[in-house]
Structure 1
Amino acid sequence: MYILKNALQNLFRNTGRNLLTAAIFLLVITMSCVALVVYNGSNSMAEQYKDRLSTEVLLNVDDRKVSEAAGEDDTFRRPTLTDELIQKLAASPYLKKTVYSAQMEAIADELKYSNPVDKRDIEMQRAGEDLVKTRRPQYYLYGFEDVSQAEAFQGGKVKLIEGGFPTAEDECVISDTLAELNGLKPGDTFQAKSIYYTDKQGRALEKMTLKVSGVYHWDYDEGEMNVDSDIFTKYRLLTDPRYTYEPVFQASFFLKNPRDLDAFAQEAYAAGLSEYYKLSTDAVAYDAFVKPVEQMGTISLIFLCVVLALGAAVLLILSSLVVRERKYEIGVLRAMGMKKGKVAAQLILESVLIMAVCLALGVALGSLFSQPITDLLLSHQMSQALGGPTLAGGTGAYSFGGLATENTPITHISAALSLTTVTELAGIALVLAAAAGAVSTACAMKYEPMRILRERN
């Protein structure tokens, strides 16, 4: 108890000296916190992209074949995926998972919309089909087997802020803008309908009643299109023929092993996949997006090592100088009969107490600076690596070095402070405090108490 009491008194007795030590501790912990957050965040994002891009199978339409077919036959229609085909492919033993969705343009006249709503009828014609009377779309319905797997929610920019994801077939998630405009909250219902009046057989399409299960918020970047009209619901609802004319199907297939691509392709064509599709993995995006993020992790790790090396060196030098100033105090304690072990324990305890306070402040400051620094590093790395991405052919694909990819660059890495990072910082703080205390102890123990007292002046 005496050792603890005396250590606390020394912290306030030697305020200037301890503040200098604390400032160095705080600087090291804060910079280490930022470096660790950037390192852990970039590594996590890189692993996610590596896993997805190396195993995700891209189903791209062969535009050359389509153009040739359309030139030979005016009624030729671009091939599309069907629900039946997706289910067949999803059952392949080569796949570890399949994320599929359906999209439908819809109207909901009872709802308010952030932009002016045009309720006039228009005529639409698909290739190989007759003119059909439709409405202009007001909303877009996206159906997923598991809405949380939608790319919008996986990217981190779209977050559920109220309620939960749909579990029943008639439930949906809407934007906070749409909820505010219409006074909707989880549990409320509204009606929506396809922009088509009838199905392909001429039967009138019914309205669907949607129940709000949750509300999401989209963090828009400057210049990004507002998508508060996007409504996410269950996949099966949009495949129900009572409500839909012909939904647009999309699917992402993820291989267990990237080397199984050719085998999966043969299986897909045998199952009925059109010859106008070609299957591939996105090596362009893998090289363009993953490597810059991995370099971020390397840079932050090097920075962490430099900070720890310089910080530890300064702390050790400062600890040895402090002991020289406190020789007389140490001599008195030893002359009074205090054992070397207790003197050492007091010196180490003082370092630990200072470090504990600096750890709390450093974590707070580090978490405050981590996100801006992460964003700055990511922006710099991407601009350097990609040399300015451009849209390829106006299709929404990105082009890098003449090669195109449908995947979008990594534009955001969450720099949230995790339990792992806090644990690592606590370990660093403990090692630094122990090292500083050990140096102080080693310097103090080499002085004989009587000699210290004789040489006081």
Structure 2
Amino acid sequence: MNFVKRAGMSLGSRRSKTAALLAIFLVICALLLGGLLLEDAAARRESDARRSIGVDVTVRKDGLTRAQADRLAAPGLVHRYNAEMRVRAAAQGFTPLTPRFPEPGGTATEDGAKSELAVNGVRDTGMLLPFSYGSTKVTAGRGITPEDEGRDVAVIEQRLADANHLKAGDTVRVRSPDGARTMPVTVVGIFRDPARDPAMWTAPHELPGNTLYVPVGTTEKLTAGTATVSEAVFKIGSPDRARRLHAETERLLGKGGFDFRVNDKAYKDQVLPIERVGTFAGLMVRVIALAGALILGLVVALQIRERRTELGVLLAMGEKKWKLIGQHAVEVAAVALPAVALAALAGSFAGQPAGEAFLGHQGHKPVSSGSTPDAEIASPTVRVEAADVGKVAGIALGMSLVSTVIPGLGILRLHPRSLLTDSE
């Protein structure tokens, strides 16, 4: 009789032991699938957290050029970065705000009258702390983005816009203090700075309402390329990448002579716990696979011991020994596959709640640090995919093979007479 057919008949005749073996396999497969799903969910969530939180690195250096800042962002270590240039400019065709109080000791100097505006050249207003924290908000239009490179646009303060009846889409002109260069810029957004006007005389360019944000390229045009980067902020994925960025900074700028500050508090508070969950899940899968193989090996060894008479009869009838081992392997594998299907069904219902239990509390704990805004990671998504089910099936079949072949090796050393006469 074919040993595969004999395996099916054996499973049918031993229903209670088959059900017990199925229950053992179901528990093992459910735990394996749960570990894989948790590991995958943690990996996806960690990737999202690295992008949304990451590590902020601030580089400052006297004479830091825009080209140098761009090169630091080029090696592929940086997710997002912002370079900031601060210059002063004069208004043409519109009226800057003026201090409410007279200047102590006399009137403003001629140079001061020609540079009433504080022009901040940036790549991305979203990376500026006041905007990222939400204390400064864009009330109309939009902020400056990296896509504005090559465009002459501006985001102006609400008080300046109200005083000159400006709105998004209007064009204003700014002029260098020496009057040599004049730049027309299109207003693409209006923001509101919560800072109040000072209760004493303040230079016009220091009034909150006289602040403009423009692309870095516009600042360079306004100053004929003489402006330098006051600071560059890089958002990267991990502290390890910060060390690599520091090495790249030393290579480009030379050792010393620059300020390199790393803020990884938010990363440590939110990303590291997710990493630990993923590591735990991976370890759990390995431990369960090893423990499952040992448990199944013990169960199969006991079954072989109980079925010594059956084995002796089959050997006496001329059945080959490898077919006896194959029969046990088929029996165990035939139980493993339904267990995998049931585990996948259970995982589709219980996976999301389990993921929320392990990872969900991380997404509802905003963290605030000195240079990173409050961040909230999206809720974890746990889904059963074909690849995960395939991994569980592969591990289950591997355990079936190991748990039957190793105990079955003892059959190869025995003879029919020893199996039929040995009562042990």
TM > 0.5 between the two? yes
Structure 1 position 56 matched with structure 2 position 23: no
Query: Corresponding residue for 2:387?
Result: 420
SS in 2 for 1:129: helix
Distance 2:378 2:144 in 1: 35
TM-score after normalising by structure 2: 0.56
- Contact 1:30–1:365 at 8 Å: present in 2 too? yes
- Contact 1:77–1:127 at 8 Å: present in 2 too? no
- Contact 1:378–1:411 at 8 Å: present in 2 too? no
Q: How does 1:171-190 map to 2 (within 5 A)?
A: none
Query: Corresponding residue for 1:340?
Result: 321
Distance 1:333 1:358 in 2: 29
| Counterpart amino acid of residue 7 in structure 1 | A
Q: Would you say how many aligned residue pairs link Structure 1 and Structure 2?
A: 290
Structure 1 position 289 matched with structure 2 position 270: yes
CA displacement at 1:360 relative to structure 2: 1.1
SS in 1 for 2:380: coil
Structure 1 position 128 matched with structure 2 position 95: no
Query: Corresponding residue for 2:368?
Result: 399
Distance 1:416 1:11 in 2: 33
Partner deviation per Cα, 1:184-230 (whole Å, 9 max, x = no partner):
xxxxxxxxxxxx8x9648xxxxxxxxxxxxxxxxxxxxxxxxxxxxx
Structure 1 position 280 matched with structure 2 position 312: no
TM-score after normalising by structure 1: 0.52
- Contact 1:85–1:271 at 8 Å: present in 2 too? no
Query: Corresponding residue for 2:401?
Result: 434
- Contact 1:85–1:272 at 8 Å: present in 2 too? no
Distance 2:276 2:371 in 1: 22
Query: Corresponding residue for 1:349?
Result: 330
CA, structure 1 residues 269+441, in 2 after alignment: closer, same or farther (shift >3 Å)? farther
Query: Corresponding residue for 2:3?
Result: 3
Distance 2:85 2:372 in 1: 14
Query: Corresponding residue for 2:12?
Result: 12
CA displacement at 1:445 relative to structure 2: 3.4
- Contact 2:30–2:343 at 8 Å: present in 1 too? yes
| Counterpart amino acid of residue 399 in structure 1 | S
CA displacement at 1:278 relative to structure 2: 5.1
Moved more, 440-449 or 37-46: 440-449
Distance 1:271 1:419 in 2: 55
Question: Percent identity among equivalent residues?
Answer: 21
Partner deviation per Cα, 1:319-353 (whole Å, 9 max, x = no partner):
11111111111111111111112111111111111
CA, structure 1 residues 452+294, in 2 after alignment: closer, same or farther (shift >3 Å)? same
Query: Corresponding residue for 2:306?
Result: 325
Query: Corresponding residue for 1:28?
Result: 28
Distance 1:71 1:266 in 2: 24
Structure 1 position 301 matched with structure 2 position 282: yes
Query: Corresponding residue for 1:313?
Result: 294
Distance 1:78 1:269 in 2: 8
Structure 2 unaligned residues grouped into runs of 5+: 55-76, 89-95, 101-115, 126-141, 172-185, 192-214, 236-262
Aligned-pair Cα RMSD in Å: 4.5
Distance 1:289 1:84 in 2: 29
CA displacement at 1:358 relative to structure 2: 0.9
CA, structure 1 residues 132+271, in 2 after alignment: closer, same or farther (shift >3 Å)? closer
- Contact 1:59–1:277 at 8 Å: present in 2 too? no
CA displacement at 1:8 relative to structure 2: 0.8
Computing the radius of gyration from Cα coordinates, the structure with the larger value is 2
Q: How does 1:76-155 map to 2 (within 5 A)?
A: 86-87=146-147, 89=149, 126-130=158-162
| Counterpart amino acid of residue 356 in structure 1 | L
SS in 1 for 2:80: strand
Distance 1:417 1:20 in 2: 26
- Contact 2:336–2:396 at 8 Å: present in 1 too? yes
